[in-house]
Amino acid sequence: MKKYFEKSKHVILHPFTLIMLVLFLKISAFQVVIFNNKSFFHILFIEFPMWALCLTILLLLAKKRKWLTIWLYHLGLSGLFIVVVFYTRYFSTVPSYYDVKQIYQSNSVKGTVALLGTPYDFLFFIDVAIILPLIWYYMKSEEHDNFVMAKKWAIGFSCAGFVSTVLAFFYPLVDVSYFAKKHGYIQSQFVQLYERGFDTAFAHNEKLSDQDLAELKGNMFVPFTEHRTFGLAKNRHVFVIQVESLQEFTINREVNGQEITPNLNALLKDSAYFNNVYQQIGAGNTSDAEWIMHTSLYPEGMDPTVNVIDGSAIPSLVRTLQKHGYGTATYHADDITYWSRDKLYPALGFDHVYTNNEIPSDKVVGFGPADEMLFGFVESQLPSQLKKHEKMYSNIITLTSHTPFEMPTAMQYLHLPDEYEETYVGNYLQAVRYTDEQIGLFIGKLKEMGIYENSLLLIYGDHSGLHGAPITDKDQELLKEVLGHPYNLHDRFTVPVLFVAPDIFMGETYSRLGGQIDFMPTLLNLLGIEHDAQMIGHNLFQYEKNLLGMRYYLPGGSFISNKTLYTAPSAKHPAALYNRKTMKKSKDTKELQKKINNTLLILQYSDFVRKTP
């Protein structure tokens, strides 16, 4: 008995055993924080073996300095886990290895990082400190270099890791976060790598016709040229203004007796306004909004779409307009390599591309020239372009109203109550108000140039600005005061959409459901132009019903339909079905699975269209 006790004591107090215990506690903390997973057996048999195997392999490869390897491994995991925590809080999804490629894009949210963390997050580094005396003790002992046991552990970890990884490949990867929770974080990376490498993700190769797509959304198909809006704005100049972080609730709303967007509100009299349109971007955010606008195809989702194209020509709104006599230009006061627009713009086919190399940077706000510099530059280019091209398509991407929305005092047009000072919501409203002012001045210039009356403008928001950990309890209170109800998913995901066409539209408001996927077909129908390739969206003026997918800011498998908003199960939350009008939980599960299946089918087919030469 004594001999057995001594042997057990030796195993338990063996340095490698203690190191693994510390690692297990670290992985458990990660699982609780990220996935709210408190299952001891799931962590022990699914999650822990792969992390432990990685350390074991490193120790077997390290001929010397094994203790340094252990310490560096724990330090590296601490840094990784902090990154995952911050990323999850801001984007509401667990990052994959794809997102490592986006580190160079961190400038876009660096001002927000300070708002994401809490002092408790740095407890992930506590083991890095605790392990030091353990290392010191064993390095002085006779067993300081005894890692023979690591080979035995490696066999066990390899078996457990191999089984859990193989089993993971038998499950569909619809939502990365949920998949990582169920099948292991590292295992989810292997599955993504496989699907990415062999191009198996969302590969539906059965052709769907325009009629099929209409019916999947619940509509009776009408040929494109027979729509009642076909050709209403034929031969007009086209201006598309994609407004950074503009959300629908800002339109026609006042704070402290002041309009948040007085210039956009004034444009409504010449507009058809859609107030029920949802963002559908993926990990590429603003660049994904540009992608959807110019292709009417869904974004990649897990990876920014710009990362999966190589700059080769693709069917696009730009190329179709060129075939019908339009000159085309795009303006964005940022580095062209940012979000790989140096590949996106050649793929779309613009005649003229203007970025921070051409747009003056005399006044910089945030991480780029202020929007007044952007619009001023557009105005300066139009005369020469109109001499060269009979009709112009101008794509304008604003920049200033980007998180963290910190505007210089001279550029703050709103007089907000004291409770809004130094709040995220207050900063956001000031940023939106500034950009609205610049849009108003730009419209005035178009009128002075005599081209406003012969133009069709599409103005819309690219994605939400108010989301994630930066939204404090105080911000929630302010939003409730502004909205008249608690801030919800509908408020977060809807973006304003104005089709401005003087003498055609006279202040109509449409509350039918739409998505960013619908912008291109709606615009082309107004122009009386047919597109050569498949479009996944439809003409918002024609169809009453819709079925929208969202791949990134809602769990995979979620959908938005006329009456309901369904969020699929995620890493931290069970599936939920909401009445879209009240945003209260709904028990009406009629045709729920059918809509899930139809949404996934549409997404899969969109991927097939994108990948087909």
Pick out the residues of the known binding site for substrate.
402
Binding-site residues, in ranges, read 244, 286, 402, 462-463
Close Cβ partners of 321 (under 8 Å, ≥ 6 residues apart): 238, 328, 393, 527, 529
Q: How many C-beta neighbours within 10 Å does residue 517 have? A: 26
Q: Strand pairing partners for 585?
A: 578
Angle (nearest 5°) at CA 545 between 542 and 549: 115
Q: For residue 33, what are its two tokens?
A: 């924080």
Q: How far apart are the first and last CA of the chain?
A: 73
Q: Are 379 and 445 in contact (CB under 8 A)?
A: yes
Of 246, 248, 249, 245, which is closest to residue 483 (Cα–Cα)? 249
Q: Strands 352-354 and 326-332, how do they pair? A: parallel
Q: Is 162 helix (H, G, I), strand (E, B) or coil?
A: helix
Residues flagged as binding site for Mn(2+): 244, 286, 462-463
Pairing state between β 391-397 and 237-243: parallel
Which active-site residues does the annotation give? 286
327 φ, ψ (degrees, to nearest 5): -85, 150
Specify the 3-state DSSP secondary structure of 193. Answer: helix
Separation between Cα atoms, residue 367 and residue 319, nearest integer Å: 31
Strands in 67-167 per DSSP E: none
User: Are 318 and 393 spatial neighbours (Cβ–Cβ below 8 Å)?
Assistant: yes
In the chain, % helix, strand, coil (3-state, to 5) comes to 50, 10, 35
Rg of the chain (C-alpha set): 27
User: SS3 of 564, please?
Assistant: strand
